[in-house]
Structure 1
Amino acid sequence: MTASVVGIVREAVARIPRNYAGRPTRLTGFYRESDNDPKGQPRYLVEGLLTVFKVPYQQRTDEGAVQIQQSRKVDLRADHPVRFDWAGGPFIAHLADFVHARAQFIDPAQFRNYDYRLAPGSTYADRPVYVVAFGPRPGNRRARFAGRMYIDQDTYAFLGAEWHYTPTGLRSGIHRADARNLRVAYQPYAGRWHLKSVWWQTKYRPQWARRSSTSANF
């Protein structure tokens, strides 16, 4: 069963050039970022209208240009002794696009570090899918992520995924965090799949509890 599930993921990766945009694209989206206290109330909130420029999906990358068309910010931390700004937020449409970046869990060179299995469920966004759960193989300390992805049964397109960083993944990050969770979805347009939405949450507790979340919709 494991070998056959890996085969599904491998086929989905092989079909990325035909399933996703083969030319440069421009997305318009709404972006929201907040830094929340232990009760979930925002310490600050940023919202904006973004234009995101993406190169063809044949090119493996998690980088690209972003224009902030409009934005507003509410900052309630004026009396707080330490201030944090989560600077990567507007680039979430590039950083979290696991298909464009060929994230580690869909990188054929990294398959040996992961355990793949079919999970319960048969539909996603009203389409028949393979629900593939993934995580580190027993004893493996190289796999950075664990979660599940949704692969269209007809086209083998990645329709979405939800995942979190493993302890190995958290240690590999630039900034220390207690947890990082992501959720990404794609949508069809003109015969190809494009980024639809991204949600990213980071939890970090220095001397006080803190939670930051970022989301974008296109």
Structure 2
Amino acid sequence: MKTSGYYQKQNFFFVVFIILFGLGNNQSVFAFFQEQEQAYVQYKGDVVDSESNDPVISAILSISDTNISTVTNTEGEFLLKVPVDKINGVVTVSSLGYITTRVPLTDFSKDEYRIKLKPSVIELPQVNIEMPGNAELLVRETLKKKGVNNINDHLLMTAFYRETIKKRRRNVSLAEAVVNVYKKPYSSQQKDEIELFKSRKSTDYKRLDTVALKLQGGPFNTLYGDVMKYPEYIFTEETIDEYSFSFDQSTVINNKPVYVVNFKPLPGIEDLRFSGKLFIDSNTLAMVSASYRLNVENKEKASTLFVRKKPKNFIVYPTEAEYKVDYREKNGKWYYGYSNIHLTFKINHKKRIFNSVYSLDSEMAVTNWEKINDNNPLKPKDRLKPSIVLSDEASGFSDPEFWGAHNVIEPEKSIESAINKIKRQLERGGSS
């Protein structure tokens, strides 16, 4: 079995962690462009299930007739900043498995506004592509049609990125950024480029003890979760035959019927492989969403894939690796809109009884975009490197109006309290 090419591609995506002994020099300075902020109105609220009142996570809120959007956080909360010339517009609220809702901005209250989405589950007949009911052929056909179903132009996307590191249940490091993503056409083999526009961080170094975790790659890790642009990070020509595919119960997105396809490695496959679900529009066969996880039961192989550096007396290996990507549709074409990664690591010291558990969550949401001329490439000096460690580039959380008119993901209450706590501890310790 040939796996060298597979792992060479995988390493570019998945070797993301640096485990460091000692903290060294943690001072960093980041200068960013000055911008002319457009006047805007800010709306806050939450999105919940109309039957259970449970929060709807990663629901998309977009302003009709624009490319402006945001997503809800893990508590269903949102923060939407709308230019003053769009305040009479309509917000479209959608999420996988729910009936899409349209709400005029004039209906939003001055304080916080609750939006209730109704669940919707439908049954679809078996799909017929070459062979009736063949889920694998459906997936293959979906991947082939990326140049047809996805926006096949050069795009300049404004996106918000966040990464959070926790030691067990406590937040110890937070980094955020607004980035410009230069998205290449889906039919192109060119890789997307990223420009760092603004960034900030808070880190509680006292809670990191003698081990610091840093995510190498930053926004690139979430961007490469775009399985339509980068299918080789999950399925290669050699490995797609090593998966089994089956249909699950169908659902809806944007009031359109969606096929749900399960995939998992065939029995006997020993190499690291993925399992998960693909959500495919039943009419166009466009990819709507994907959620998947990497099998990390083989600790030695998984550690080799993820861990770049570690102290000599430490054993470090991942226990969870989960991924999600959502696409959005405009004028019949789909584009990358949101993705997140959840990683959990266990760290054992050879001379200690107890271990440490760290988790890292990173997410990126596209909040605006426009088509650009392909003759305007990003200058080399402005390109973010895939090897970036964002927490080394960013500065503090001192300015509450730091993001201005940029749409960002509303911080969870736990993150907000963690930021304040970290700031107080750093101030007492004389750090910055």
- What per-residue deviation string (whole Å, max 9, x for no partner) do you get for residues 160-210 of structure 1? 100000137836724242221001000012432111111101111113110
SS in structure 1 opposite 2:173?
strand
- The worse-fitting range, judged by mean Cα deviation, of 96-105 and 127-136 is 96-105
- Determine which of 199, 204, 217 is the counterpart of 2:340: 199
Q: What is the match of residue 24 of structure 1? A: 154
Aligned-pair CA distance for 1:104: 5.2
Structure 1 unaligned regions, length at least 5: none
**Contact 1:113–1:143 (CA under 8 A) maintained in structure 2:** no
SS in structure 1 opposite 2:212?
coil
**Structure 2 vs 1, CA of residues 188 and 60 (structure 1 numbering), >3 Å: closer, same or farther?**
same
Q: What is the match of residue 214 of structure 1? A: 362
Structure 2 unaligned regions, length at least 5: 1-130, 308-316, 349-355, 367-432
- What per-residue deviation string (whole Å, max 9, x for no partner) do you get for residues 125-177 of structure 1? 43211100000011123461100010000000000100000137836724242
User: Where do residues 1-218 of structure 1 align in structure 2 (5 Å cutoff)?
Assistant: 4-39=134-169, 41-60=170-189, 63-78=191-206, 80-103=209-232, 105-142=234-271, 144-167=273-296, 170=302, 173-175=305-307, 176-207=317-348, 208-218=356-366
- What per-residue deviation string (whole Å, max 9, x for no partner) do you get for residues 84-109 of structure 1? 21122221343211110114544454
Aligned-partner Cα distance in 1 for 2:304–2:137: 28
Aligned-partner Cα distance in 1 for 2:303–2:255: 37
Q: Which has the higher strand share?
A: 1
Aligned-partner Cα distance in 2 for 1:7–1:149: 13
Aligned-pair CA distance for 1:212: 0.5
One-letter identity of the residue aligned with 2:359: R
Aligned-pair CA distance for 1:27: 1.2
Q: Which runs of 4+ in 1 moved over 6 A?
A: none
SS in structure 2 opposite 1:22?
coil
Aligned-partner Cα distance in 2 for 1:3–1:121: 13
Aligned-partner Cα distance in 2 for 1:150–1:84: 33
One-letter identity of the residue aligned with 2:145: R
SS in structure 2 opposite 1:173?
helix
RMSD: 2.3
SS in structure 2 opposite 1:204?
strand
- The worse-fitting range, judged by mean Cα deviation, of 65-74 and 89-98 is 89-98
**Structure 2 vs 1, CA of residues 205 and 143 (structure 1 numbering), >3 Å: closer, same or farther?**
closer
Aligned-partner Cα distance in 2 for 1:104–1:132: 18
Aligned-pair CA distance for 1:71: 1.1
**Structure 2 vs 1, CA of residues 137 and 11 (structure 1 numbering), >3 Å: closer, same or farther?**
same
TM-score, with normalisation over the residues of structure 1? 0.89
Q: What is the match of residue 311 of structure 2? A: none
SS in structure 2 opposite 1:138?
coil
One-letter identity of the residue aligned with 2:265: P
One-letter identity of the residue aligned with 2:293: H
One-letter identity of the residue aligned with 2:203: D
- The worse-fitting range, judged by mean Cα deviation, of 193-202 and 124-133 is 124-133
Aligned-pair CA distance for 1:2: 9.4
One-letter identity of the residue aligned with 1:90: P
Residues paired across the two proteins, number: 216
Aligned-pair CA distance for 1:14: 1.7
Aligned-pair CA distance for 1:69: 1.1
